[in-house]
Structure 1
Amino acid sequence: MKSILIVEDEEAISRVLSAYLKKAGYQVTRVPDGQAALEAFESSPPALILLDIMMPNMDGFELLGRIRGKSSCPVIMLTARDGITDRLAGLDGGADDYMSKPFIPEEVVARVNAVLRRPSQWSDGSRKRHFGSLFIDYTARCIFLNGAEVTLSPRDMSVLLFLAERPNQICTREQLIEQVWEMDYEGSDRAVDLSIKRIRQALSHWPATEGEIRTLRGTGYQLWTT
């Protein structure tokens, strides 16, 4: 049974989400603040985190950054702060999805299901491939650069694998949105650009002579390799 960590200081919202997720077959842990979330995460890593932004002790953005420093665990942000600045800050910080309050509990469950489906959708037999010093194991969804593992969020990993399965081919933003963000996507293609930005940062030590993520202005992106 997959476990969900709910980080929410409003007891009523936390209880409702817990009830719907348990009904959907998930195991649920509820905590009221960021510090308690870190302790729960370290003692028993969940399959996914539902994360509020405005909380005591540590806000959701800080907690997201600390989680991303050590794990690619999927994170869906749930918040009353629905401005585009906050939404982009969450996505740029590595969130896999962002939902504004008030929300329908059934939709939250659907988003959780969609995010948790992503890890298996790119598996392809036992394929492994080297792009110079960059090594990709498609089955295990692991990436190593110069022998060191590269940590990416599940969504960013899916973007990179989509490009890596099509080396030197141009992939449009529309293709990436359709294949990676799926039905749960709301917003502009700016989310694709932010994902590519994070991937480039993660691969900053990949020699340009071996390959790179290229932007084709007005068209899309390409994993170019020699």
Structure 2
Amino acid sequence: MTTLPTGSPSVRDVRDRRVLVVEDDPTVREVASGYLRSAGLIVDEAVDGFDALALAERTPPDLVVLDRMLPGVDGLEVARRLRSRRPVPIIMLTALGSTDDRIEGLEAGADDYLAKPFSPRELVLRVQSILRRSVGELAPEAPFVLGAFAIDPSNRTVRKAGRSLTLTAREFDLLAFFLKHPNQVFSREQLLKEVWRWDFGDLSTVTVHVRRLREKIEDDPTKPRHLTTVWAVGYRMSA
């Protein structure tokens, strides 16, 4: 692993970041927006999918809190359209509790999800965690190279063989973690704790993100050479 020269970028605060809350239930929308504003965030509100897409086009948010069940254009389609425009982080709110429903949301482009009813404080913590990672950690990290990958954790950019990769916030976090620990095997439970910072959660979250990451870093995602599976154990990034 080769370290590249770097400057000393300034620390960026997550306060004053812009969050778009998309929720048709006025009570849920009001509570979520109120807690986020109290945490120092700028909050825009949308009541349906069409409103959300138009508002995101006019005033691009730094993160979207998105209800899955929306009138007009549902949350899954909104997530897909938002992700097709730019890699904005998305936290999906869902009243649907099945694993398949959560996987569907993650595959549509969500970085995280919360099941209703949820704690507004937990929502704030999830938003702050994702924003803090997307704008840079408190201690700037030096860029480094591992194999075909050149990654700058502070600027959150990564290139493979000179080609820039477009990753979501969680995909970047996951790839950065693997590149910092080459040839080590990590279980899904370990990845959930180290990358998501969750002590417990749905392990399919990790599975979906690994699959999405492979689609972007592997020449043939069905036959991965970089991010490989160690059967019955977990995943490994081969240097």
Task: Give the direction of change, closer, same or farther, for the CA distance of 1:163–1:123 in structure 2 (3 Å limit).
Answer: farther
Shift of 1:144: 2.4
Paired residue for 1:127?
143
| Alignment counterpart, residue 75 of structure 1, candidates 78, 83, 90 | 90
Within 2, Cα distance between the matches of 1:200 and 1:122?
A: 28
| Matched residues, number | 222
Looking at structure 2, the residues matched to 136 and 78 of structure 1 have their Cα atoms a distance apart, in angstroms, of 31
Q: What is the rounded CA distance, in whole Å, between the counterparts of 1:101 and 1:72 in structure 2?
A: 25
Determine whether 1:200 maps to 2:233. Answer: no
> Greater RCO between the two (CA within 8 Å, min separation 6)?
2
Q: 2:101 aligns with which of 59, 76, 86?
A: 86
User: Aligned pair in 2 of structure 1 residues 38, 153: CA closer, same or farther (>3 Å)?
Assistant: same
- TM-aligned CA distance change 1:138 to 1:22, over 3 Å: closer
CA contact 2:99–2:204 (8 Å) conserved in 1: no
The answer to whether 1:176 aligns with 2:227 is no
Secondary structure, counterpart of 1:144 in structure 2: strand
Partner Cα separation in structure 1 for residue 200 and residue 47 of structure 2: 28
Alpha-carbon shift at residue 128 of structure 1 (Å): 2.9
CA distance in 2, matches of 1:165, 1:27: 33
SS at match of 2:35: helix
1:3 to 5, 13, 18: 18
User: How far does residue 211 in structure 1 lie from its aligned partner after superposition?
Assistant: 4.9
Is residue 172 of structure 2 the alignment partner of residue 157 of structure 1? yes
How far did 1:17 drift? Answer: 1.4
Equivalent position amino acid for 1:81 in 2: L
- C-alpha deviation, 1:116, in angstroms: 2.1
**Which secondary structure state, in structure 1, belongs to the residue aligned with residue 238 of structure 2?**
strand
List per-residue Cα deviations over 1:77-117 (Å, max 9, x = no partner): 11222222111111222312211222222222222222223
Uncovered stretches (5+) of structure 1, i.e. residues with no partner: none
Give the TM-score of the pair, scaled to structure 2.
Answer: 0.83
Aligned to 2:54: 39
In the aligned structure 2, how far is the partner of 1:32 from the partner of 1:184?
33
Partner of 2:230: 216
- Measure the CA separation in 1 of the matches of 2:50 and 2:18: 19
Q: Does 1:144 align with 2:159?
A: yes
> Which secondary structure does the structure 1 equivalent of 2:171 belong to?
helix
Letter in 2 for 1:160: L
Question: For residues 56-67 of structure 1, what are the structure 2 equivalents within 5 Å?
Answer: 56-67=71-82
Provide the TM-score with structure 1 as the length reference. 0.87
Aligned-CA RMSD value? 2.5
Segments ≥4 residues shifted beyond 6 Å: none
